[in-house]
A and B are shown apart, each in its own frame.
With several copies, the nearest count.
Chain A
Amino acid sequence: MSEQNTNLLTRLQIAARAAQDMEDGWLVNLGIGMPTMIPAYIPKDRDVMFHSENGLIGMGPQPAEGEADQDLISAGKELVTMVSGGAIVHHADSFAVARGGRLDCACLGAFQVVANGDLCNWRLPNQKSGSVGGAMDIAAGSKRVFAMMTHTDRDGGAKIVSERTFPLTAMGVVTRIFTDMAVISITADGLVLDEVAPGLTKDEVQAVTDAPLIMDNVGEIAVAA
């Protein structure tokens, strides 16, 4: 189904929706891929700082032509800039920020999210090894973890499941899921379907979600024109 559905959000639209959840004053860590598209969509009246685990607090956008410094990169190894009031720390202190409760949110890509909040994003089941990087530390330490992904895999299979089948990154950490079909919160009561993409129905989302969704109060994802 996901291959044909024209109502699916684009990656940029998913990032734009996630950006609306970034609250004023937050410190946020962004995983590679879709999460790195978030900063451009954060409402202008909100002051959100970005933490890059390689010791950069206050990461800014890519440098203008000719203004790059070879020693200033993101965790994704792209050349970046620094915002006013940023700071440089060493790696152990940077992960102290991440594990120590000062990261308000981590926005991370995911292969699979379990209804209990388990996050799987570091290794595929058929891989013998993976590049874990800082994923496990950041996922385990952040106050909130937002998972960002397509709702289904390439074969249309559910990536939001009741029983974990992928290698675990961190237990019970995901608080919200942003996909190309929906926004889903993980609560003590279970998965709550908060919003669906325009043109999709609740039942269409449930059909490709391998865990029951609470659908008492479902809105529509606001998509910019």
Chain B
Amino acid sequence: MKNKKSATLEDAVGRIQDGATILVGGFGQPGVPEVLIDGVCDLGRRNLTIVTNNAGTGHSGIARLIEEGCVGKLICSFPWAKESFVFKELYDAGKIDLEIVPQGTLSERIRAGGAGLGGFLTPTALGTDLAEGKPIIESDGREWVLEKALRGDFALIKAYKTDPRGNLIYHLTARNFNPVMAMAADFTIAEVQEDVAIDELDPEVIVTPGVFVDTYFVTGWYEIGKERKAS
């Protein structure tokens, strides 16, 4: 049986190239794969499109990636939090593009991508600015916004435990976007707190089957949201 473990951080993220679209898990700070993001920072890639809920906190995680000039476009639901000052500075300077997507629509667009669908009809945003330019479809006597599926070249996700096949379980609200993002990328990279032997995870409680995970990197537990230096 193939073990999907990456021995080094560079092994895990090294195939990411300039211009890639990357789904990045997390809501607030829980579930953000900070170590993988640091690994991408270290690669020095440019013009990445990042799909994630928030625009980064302080100087770590997504904020570091933005600050180091790696990101050409951000697709998110909540860009203007006070802790996302790094993003705001680059946005105001015209150095980064932004697409705002309602949070439920964002997670559903990603799930649709993961499920091989082209899009879906949603009541969300009907009649609002955020539906501008999107097709409006009538069905069952109601109007719906047609939203397109969204996939990544890569997904960077954070999980609690994995087995050698990449079967994942998560921890509390650090689950958030991670399971749907794992489904929706051509190449899914997980950072996990701990890896366990095959058969240690009950097949009934696995949230992300290993078929969605291409490689994983073991980080151990760490305090989230701490600023780390480039490694």
* Chain A residues with a Cβ under 8 A of chain B: 24-25, 27, 47, 49, 51-58, 69-73, 75, 77, 82, 84-92, 94-102, 123, 129-138, 140-141, 167-171
Q: Is the CB of A132 within 8 A of B164?
A: no
Q: Is the CB of B177 within 8 A of A87?
A: no
- Tell me, in angstroms, the Cα distance from A137 to B116 when the chains sit together: 10
B137 within 8 A of A: no
Q: In the assembled complex, which residues on chain A have CB atoms less than 8 Å from the CB atom of B198?
A: 84-85
Q: In the assembled complex, which residues on chain B have CB atoms less than 8 Å from the CB atom of A89?
A: 175, 209
Per-position binary interface string of chain B over residues 56-80, scored 1 when its CB falls under 8 Å from any chain A CB and 0 otherwise: 0000000000000000000001111
Interface centre among B27, B111, B179, B180 (most CB of A within 10 A): B27
Given the contacts A99-B115, A100-B115, A87 and B206 also touching, CB distance less than 8 Å: yes
B31 within 8 A of A: yes
Q: In the assembled complex, which residues on chain B have CB atoms less than 8 Å from the CB atom of A169?
A: 128
Per-position binary interface string of chain B over residues 121-135, scored 1 when its CB falls under 8 Å from any chain A CB and 0 otherwise: 011111111100000
Interface centre among A27, A130, A132 (most CB of B within 10 A): A132
B24 vs chain A, min Cβ distance (A): 13
Q: In the assembled complex, which residues on chain B have CB atoms less than 8 Å from the CB atom of A85?
A: 1, 163-165, 167, 198-199, 210
- Tell me, in angstroms, the Cα distance from A54 to B178 when the chains sit together: 11
Q: Is the CB of B124 within 8 A of A140?
A: yes
Q: In the assembled complex, which residues on chain B have CB atoms less than 8 Å from the CB atom of A82?
A: 172, 203
B56 vs chain A, min Cβ distance (A): 13
Given the contacts A71-B30, A73-B30, A99-B123, A170 and B128 also touching, CB distance less than 8 Å: yes
In the complex, residue of chain A having the shortest beta-carbon distance to the beta carbon of B184: A100
Q: Is the CB of B209 within 8 A of A54?
A: no
A67 vs chain B, min Cβ distance (A): 13
Q: In the assembled complex, which residues on chain B have CB atoms less than 8 Å from the CB atom of A97?
A: 209, 211-212
**Number of cross-chain contacts by CB at 8 Å:** 195
B49 within 8 A of A: no
Q: Is the CB of B123 within 8 A of A129?
A: no
Given the contacts A51-B211, A55-B173, A87-B203, A141 and B163 also touching, CB distance less than 8 Å: no
Q: Which of B9-17, B40-48, B102-110 contacts A (4 or more CB under 8 A)?
A: B102-110
* Chain B residues with a Cβ under 8 A of chain A: 1-2, 27-31, 77-81, 98, 100-105, 107-108, 110-111, 113-117, 122-130, 163-165, 167, 170-180, 183-184, 186, 198-199, 203-204, 206-207, 209-212, 223-224
In the complex, residue of chain A having the shortest beta-carbon distance to the beta carbon of B168: A87
A-B contact pairs, 20 of them (CB 8 A): A51-B211, A54-B27, A55-B173, A71-B224, A73-B173, A85-B1, A85-B210, A90-B175, A91-B103, A92-B110, A95-B104, A98-B104, A99-B123, A100-B183, A130-B100, A132-B78, A132-B100, A133-B102, A135-B102, A137-B105
Q: Is the CB of A24 within 8 A of B2?
A: yes
Interface centre among A25, A51, A87, A167 (most CB of B within 10 A): A87
Q: In the assembled complex, which residues on chain B have CB atoms less than 8 Å from the CB atom of A99?
A: 104, 115-117, 122-124
Given A70-B223, A87-B210, A169-B128, 19 new contacts (CB under 8 A): A54-B27, A70-B29, A71-B171, A72-B30, A73-B27, A75-B27, A77-B28, A87-B209, A89-B175, A90-B175, A92-B108, A96-B114, A96-B115, A99-B104, A129-B79, A131-B79, A131-B80, A136-B105, A141-B123
- Tell me, in angstroms, the Cα distance from A47 to B164 when the chains sit together: 13
Q: Is the CB of A168 within 8 A of B128?
A: yes
- Tell me, in angstroms, the Cα distance from A53 to B106 when the chains sit together: 13
B82 vs chain A, min Cβ distance (A): 10
Q: In the assembled complex, which residues on chain A have CB atoms less than 8 Å from the CB atom of B1?
A: 47, 84-85
Q: Is the CB of B172 within 8 A of A71?
A: yes
Q: Is the CB of B212 within 8 A of A102?
A: yes
